[in-house]
Amino acid sequence: MVYGYCRVSTKHQNLKRQIDALLNYGVERENIFVDKITGKTLERDGLKSLKTVLTSGDTLVIKEIDRLGRNRKQTTMLIKELIENNVEIIALDMPYLKDFIIEEIKRNKGFMEIMATTLLAMVLEISEQERNKIIVRTKEGRDKALEFGVKFGRKEKISKKKFLYHYKEMIQYDGKPIDLQKKLGICKQTYYNYKRKYIKGESAYDKSKQ
């Protein structure tokens, strides 16, 4: 059986690029396992589910080798585990991984295995360096954009001016926060987030009226 695995580091990143690559290779969609959380540990739901179905003779397809783990040690540990369980590993962006590294690790013992393992470590080091470069470039680009006034993050649902206008109106007419929430179409948590952000201090008024 052929399975696929995809991972992104945050819930806001998109898995589509990886999934499309696996589908184009021929992996069935129902056989693709995904994780959309940080890879600090191998204890990930998608990976754990994948490992429960993988059996000897199966093939695991990934787009990039570093999708298996967050660092060299973690990735190497998982690759060796898969090899020991006789699972074939195919990295689409690194076709030579299977033929020139993994096959040598499986076929040879002693000196050649050490050489192949060392080469694997070098490959993972390059992947890790490339990932770090992307992180640095992204941060530099973000910092530069901030210098030019570009704003990141979720767009405010209500402007400061609008919130303060209706908040003062509520205070003036002895209204209740819940009424203001309904008027502005915001939840209780959002209301208090705005209040903490725009109103200095927090009076006991709101809590008594809520």
Q: How many CB atoms neighbour CB 14 within 10 A?
A: 9
Query: What residues are paired with 4 via a beta bridge?
Result: 32, 61
Pull the structure tokens for residue 161. 């001016």
- Out of 9, 49, 127, 159, the active site residue is 9
Measured CA to CA, the distance from residue 25 to residue 207 in angstroms comes to 58
Establish whether 203 is a catalytic residue. no
What values do phi and psi take at 38, rounded to 5?
Answer: -65, 150
Measured CA to CA, the distance from residue 19 to residue 15 in angstroms comes to 6
Catalytic positions are: 9
